[in-house]
């Protein structure tokens, strides 16, 4: 490879709208080094106001919602690059072109792809999540011509990415490539797009866990915090969690050298989700403060003044 080595990430997400941000939050929170490319031109701004997204009973303006998405990416630990992705290539092909030598399919950094942006930036990635609403032409080097279909619009012939190319879980025949968008009606509403992004990210995380050696029944990852009350009785003891793990290990895997380490990692992760009531209250206050950061100060003052008048 070139002496100017590109950054290598676990996950490169193309698109920072509801679907891409949702996917990136899940992968970053799992601990995968995640970089989101967002050129700032998405389908969402075509909406005058977002009215049907759960959790915002009076709706939310698009500008504030997008700021919340960016803030959430930062909180989750994902990086954001304000640039357009020009192409996604197989790392072996990109290395061969740059070095003039035969590409190595098993790169030392584990990267399967090279992502190139409009400003010439190159990022190596082990996984790519396509989550951009536009035509997906940047994927052609890795998916080939068969992933596109022709159609006629206003008398002109056009070609666009086939929304049926990925399966329902966003997986593709290209190892490491997942597609959230373009995906037809699954991207038609912000809340549906966000849900699809989360679903595909969970499939990616599951695949990572399978590659790490987790048995199929234990490969699912559930990203939530548990109340301390969930750890009462036997479930407050690590041994009970070990037993639960072992009950789900296939017979043929019971003697594997890595099972004991995976078991302890699984139990550690479970206990790390435990939160007592005081911790939950701290999280609540912090969450409310974070939301206030995105509200107009004058509106906060006006609300506070009106609230005080009613109480008086």
- Chunked into runs of 10 residues, the chain (312 residues) has average pLDDT values of 69 95 98 92 77 94 94 97 95 81 65 95 97 86 90 73 90 96 70 94 98 96 95 95 96 90 96 97 97 94 79 50
Looking at residue 185, its pLDDT comes to: 58
Q: What does the chain come to in residues?
A: 312
Looking at residue 2, its pLDDT comes to: 42
Sequence-distant (≥ 6) Cβ neighbours of residue 124 within 8 angstroms: 6, 7, 8, 9, 91, 107, 109, 111, 113, 114, 115
Looking at residue 1, its pLDDT comes to: 40
Rg of the chain over all Cα atoms, to the nearest angstrom:
23
CA max distance for the chain: 79
């Amino acid at each position: 490879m070139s002496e100017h080595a590109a950054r290598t990430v676990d996950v490169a997400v193309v698109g920072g709208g509801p679907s891409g941000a949702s996917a990136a939050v899940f992968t970053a929170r799992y601990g995968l080094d995640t970089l989101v490319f967002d050129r700032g031109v998405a389908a969402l701004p075509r909406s005058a106001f977002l009215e049907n997204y759960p959790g915002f009973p009076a709706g939310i303006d698009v500008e504030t919602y997008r700021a919340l998405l960016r803030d959430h990416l930062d909180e989750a630990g994902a990086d954001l690059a304000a640039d357009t992705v020009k192409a996604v290539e197989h790392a072996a092909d990109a290395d061969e072109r740059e070095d003039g030598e035969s590409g190595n399919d098993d790169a030392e950094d584990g990267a399967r792809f090279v992502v190139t942006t409009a400003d010439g930036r190159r990022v190596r990635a082990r996984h790519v999540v396509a989550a951009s609403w536009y035509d997906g032409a940047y994927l052609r080097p890795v998916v080939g011509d068969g992933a596109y279909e022709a159609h006629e619009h206003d008398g002109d012939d056009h070609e666009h990415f086939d929304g049926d190319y990925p399966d329902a879980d966003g997986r593709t025949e290209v190892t490491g490539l997942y597609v959230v968008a373009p995906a037809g009606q699954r991207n038609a509403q912000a809340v549906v797009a966000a849900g699809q992004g989360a679903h595909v990210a969970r499939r990616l995380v599951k695949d990572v866990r399978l590659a790490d050696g987790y048995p199929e029944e234990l490969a699912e990852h559930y990203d939530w915090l548990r109340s301390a009350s969930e750890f009462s009785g036997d479930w407050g003891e690590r041994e009970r969690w070990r037993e639960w793990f072992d009950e789900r290990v296939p017979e043929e895997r019971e003697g594997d050298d890595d099972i004991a380490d995976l078991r302890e990692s699984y139990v550690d992760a479970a206990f790390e989700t435990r939160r007592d009531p005081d911790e939950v209250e701290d999280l609540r206050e912090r969450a409310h403060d974070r939301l206030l950061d995105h509200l107009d100060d004058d509106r906060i003052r006006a609300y506070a003044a009106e609230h005080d008048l009613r109480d008086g």
